[in-house]
Amino acid sequence: MLIILKLLGSIALLIYGMKVMSEALQKMAGPQLRHLLGAMTTNRVSGVATGALVTVAVQSSAATTVMTVSFVNAALLTLSQAISIIMGANIGTTMSAWIMSAGFSFNVANMVWPAFLVAIILIQTGKHRYIGDFLFGLSFLLFALGMLKATGVEMDLASKPGVVAFFSSFKTNYGTVLLFLLIGTVLTAMVQSSAALMAITMVLCATGAISIYQGIALVMGENIGTTLTANIAALSANTQARRTAMAHLLFNVFGVMWVLILFFPFVRMVCRVVGLDPTAPEQDATKLSFALATFHTFFNVINTAVLIWFIPQIEKLVCLIIKPRKAEDEDEFRLQYISSGIMKTPEISILQAQKEIAFFGEKMQRLFSQVRDLYSTQDEQEFAKLFERIRKGEDFSDRMENEIGKYLGDLGASHLSDETKQKIRAMMREIGELESLGDSCFNLARIMRRKLDNKVWFDDSTNEGILEMYTIVDEALTRMNQTLSGRREDYSIEDSRSIENRINAKRNALKQENIANLDRQAYSYELGTVFNDLIAECEKAGDYIINVVEARLGTD
């Protein structure tokens, strides 16, 4: 029981170390990763190189793949670009296998304790904190590898007749290979960490519990099981994102298929490269771990070298498999870019949230357009239909604020950089002001219903003034949405403030005109009240709009 607990604890430490190390690297490189992915995918070869580099940088193929799915979902990458990046991510993830094999080849304890000391100093002093986090995660990773190696020696499975008899019952044939491939797939899908399963595989091979053939079959299964992460992330995403995740699965399945055809010759070739005799009764643990890492590298490199020329065909195949969902009602509530749950790359999740907020802003402008249409509607039945759509739009804004706010709140609980925390605070303000804008639109609709119920009719001059105010507010909304969807550096707050000043000036002019008309009894007091309420609510909408822009641009 103690040995089992040591084994499980070591695996838990390994996964934790990988997670901390990966998150620290993302904090250092996070803001640049999006630009890197977009800039370096001009062709299939550069896309593969980009995927490999990013995966090596963040030490997680799952992170790169989920990130890529989110970028496709946000329309920042095409499907063909994403497929090439995922191919590269499969190559980049082989670095983890080499780190594992290195941990099994020497005593890592000599490195771990100094690394822990330096990491704690950097974290506590606050200087180079992310480097400290990275060293902390790396130390845990190496420490876990050392514990796994020691636990494997302590288990001494090769000297236990029952264990030897059990694994010996599996003959070296294709049936056994397929069985272990299935086991590797299921276990990786459950644990969602191919690195942890790779470490376990190395322990089993090093202790003599399983042969190199069975170990490589497990590694093949791990390559299929790891695709589940991206497919889960894409479940609630758009069609192109789901196709990206499916392409990842097809890529690895194709690789497993051709390796199965050439399995035994291919394994023998890998063993010759590392100087290992697969038929020898006694095996060198170090060479076994290197053989597994070498196979993992050869598998992904050769698979990419073959399939890189068939990216257009893969794209067509996934388009045939994943059909677009049926078009949904425009007014039905649904998030466009935020998937369920927080991604494994919290720094990159900010991008999805910002795209969702930009979509929120577009919906609010469409809602305001419906308000303008309602003003010109005289037929009571048409008015009632449009009024109900505006009411639903206001409910939509409430739900959007709640869902995005919940997502940002969960995201804020992660270990984030100070810059990202500041972005989250700004986004919280953006969605609050956008929700208030939805309330303002519904208030305008209610004022217009009061106008219709009380048979209040404006003359041409009054109508013209209100329509001019609507036009300026719509102009402010257009500028707000450009700011929300674009790069902050490309926009100035002065443009939006200029439009806000025009809204205020128009409000003041129309109020003065209203007072003058009431003084000379040009129309009734009731009409003047409705007119004044409409103008005041439009000015409020303008305030909410400028607040959104200020939050986005980081100005007060």
**pLDDT per position as a tens digit, 469-508:** 999 999 999 999 999 988 888 888 999 999 999 999 999 9
Contact 37, 353 (CB under 8 A): no
**C-alpha dist (Å) from residue 531 to 143, 369, 498, 543:** 73, 19, 24, 19
Lowest mean pLDDT among 33-47, 252-266, 375-389: 33-47
CB atoms within 10 A of CB 457: 12
List pLDDT tens digits, range 126-142.
767 778 887 887 777 77
What is the Cα–Cα distance from 219 to 51, expressed in whole angstroms? Answer: 21
Determine the average pLDDT of the residues in 40-68.
Answer: 70
**Distant-in-sequence, close-in-space partners of 51: CB < 8 Å, separation ≥ 6:** 64, 68, 84, 85, 86, 87, 88, 89, 90, 91, 92
Residue 556's pLDDT is 58
Superfamily grouping for domain 346-553: Phosphate transport system protein phou homolog 2; domain 2 (1.20.58.220)
Determine the average pLDDT of the residues in 329-357.
Answer: 64
**Radius of gyration over every alpha carbon of the chain, rounded to an integer in angstroms:** 30
**Distant-in-sequence, close-in-space partners of 541: CB < 8 Å, separation ≥ 6:** 368, 437, 440, 441, 444, 473
List pLDDT tens digits, range 164-213.
566 666 677 888 889 889 988 888 777 666 777 777 787 778 777 788 88
Determine the average pLDDT of the residues in 505-526.
Answer: 86
Domain boundaries, the chain: 2-321, 346-553
The pLDDT-based confidence of 387 (bands split at 50, 70, 90) is very high
What is the Cα–Cα distance from 30 to 13, expressed in whole angstroms? Answer: 24
